[in-house]
Chain A
Amino acid sequence: MSQPSPDTLQLTGSGRLRNFLTIDALPRSILEEILDTAASFVDVGDRSIKKVPLLRGKTVINLFFEPSTRTRTTFELAAKRLSADVLNMDIARSSTSKGETLMDMLRNLEAMSADMFVVRHGDSGAVDYIARHATPEVAIINAGDGRHAHPTQAMLDMYTIRHYKGGFAGLKVAIVGDILHSRVARSEIHALNILGAEEVRVVAPRTLLPADIDSLGAKVFTRLEDGLRDADVVIALRLQKERMSAALLPSESEFFRLYGLTNERLAVAHPDAIVMHPGPINRGVEIASEVADGPRAVILHQVTFGIAVRMAVMSLCMSGRETEREAAHAAAR
């Protein structure tokens, strides 16, 4: 049986966003639409009533097969600021652990008239699988799957970069640290290339670089100073110790000595370089406190922008859905 292509899985026949699963199959126009829409949501958090009525009456279910308080909270807040009803499913404690299959659980949730699933899963491709098998009535948003993709984190990082740098043309962006285990890095590399950054660099020890890194469109550096030279944006990644099945590093202190971001090391970057981190931070492992709390760091702004970007993605996935549904039914008749 033929499977739908990533394009048809993510985009409707009229080119609108249907599901948000991965960045790499999306056109630049969709990424820009997400960023532009997010810009209009940023001020909602500053108002006396921090809500807009766009998803009023819709039900969003956060399906987190892997724990993540931070990401789940920002999705929950984004959905609530759009006036949706939100249900948080802690899958580790749900009936799947009592023997219910994933598909049974999906059918049950669909039967509760859910309009959107926000899914995080520890296995790469799991969210894609759910999107292929869920009813088309439900929009699926990937909140991180294995080492594969974390598209909303990448888009909030793109928003932050555009906010501080004005655009992507001519930018040199260095992504530093645990590239091997990072779904954020993969999604960021795709997004930066699609949006037209001049140079995307990855900086890591060879043991923390994926085998297919060359095919992703990033320039590889194994010495931190070389990778940071003249960089406009530096993105430090969290060392994902929980995902490491083997001893890929001599020690955390050794990693910090060679790859940890310090003010001294950042001296070779562009004087106006910003420093980002997807969080949570391992202070003294991938980044020094002096940098994380310093004037170059925009880490807390990433969190604020993250809510607006997730509001934008949720809105765009639901945009005109009734019309799309009617068109699909008409075509099926």
Chain B
Amino acid sequence: MTDLSSTAIDARLARMADDLQQHLAARNITDPALVGIHTGGVWVAEELHRRLAQTGPLGTLDISFYRDDFSRRGLHPSVRPSALPFEVENAHIVLVDDVLMSGRTIRAALNLLFDYGRPASITLAVLFDIGRREMPFAADVCGEHLALAPDQRVELRGPAPLEAEILTLKA
């Protein structure tokens, strides 16, 4: 059974930080700008930011205004402002989320980022990838690939300690 305790999450984050560092080094990226997607992605991005000893500011994105199911599901009840306290134009962005599932959140985040400017590159880092892709996106750095039943989801709880839980959706 998958260990989703704070200790296990901590170990995954350490590995992610190493993998991300190698990934960026291989591409000669020395000044990445980390951007977390609300809410879980921001927690993971904060951890990676700390572990990579980044000195630049951390960006946050709320993709509520870019969702493709607005007319069906409506606005998220707690929309937060996005904050990108750096120039997006020509920046090397590391986009961070907690869970990669269908890829629709990543699509929305990319649309939002491009409304701020044209980045030089975007690297995607996620804590969990549970497959079920509906869009052609894959993570460059991933904490763990989880094989879940169709009615299951993984939810990250935080910000401190970071723990996760597998939830079974009601029929």
Contact = CB atoms under 8 A, between A and B. Distances in A.
B28 to A, nearest CB: 27
Interface in B36-85: 62, 64-66, 70-75, 77-83
Interface stretch (B12-20, B98-106, B110-118, B129-137): B110-118
Contacts of A319: 70, 74-75
A51 interface: yes
A322 interface: yes
A152 interface: no
Given A47-B116, A52-B65, A53-B65, A33 B77 contact: yes
A48 B118 CA distance: 10
A40 interface: yes
Nearest to B118: A48
Contact of A47 (B66, B70, B80, B115): B115
Given A36-B78, A39-B81, A40-B62, A320 B111 contact: no
A53 B64 CA distance: 10
A53 B111 CA distance: 9
Contacts of A322: 71-72
A54 interface: yes
Contacts of A185: none
Interface in A25-49: 33, 36-37, 39-43, 47-49
Nearest to B115: A49
Contacts of A41: 65
Contacts of B114: 49
Contacts of B111: 53
Contacts of A43: 81-83
Contacts of A53: 65-66, 111
A149 interface: no
Interface string B78-97: 11111100000100000000
Contact of A40 (B70, B72, B80, B89): B80
A318 B67 CA distance: 14
Given A39-B81, A52-B66, A54-B65, A16 B74 contact: yes
A39 B74 CA distance: 17
A16 B116 CA distance: 31
A85 to B, nearest CB: 15
Given A49-B116, A321-B71, 10 more contacts: A40-B62, A40-B65, A43-B81, A54-B65, A316-B75, A318-B70, A319-B70, A320-B73, A320-B74, A321-B74
30 contacts: A16-B74, A36-B78, A36-B79, A37-B75, A40-B62, A40-B64, A40-B65, A40-B80, A40-B81, A40-B82, A41-B65, A43-B83, A49-B115, A51-B115, A52-B65, A52-B66, A53-B65, A53-B111, A54-B65, A315-B65, A316-B75, A318-B71, A319-B70, A320-B72, A320-B73, A320-B75, A322-B72, A323-B71, A323-B73, A323-B74
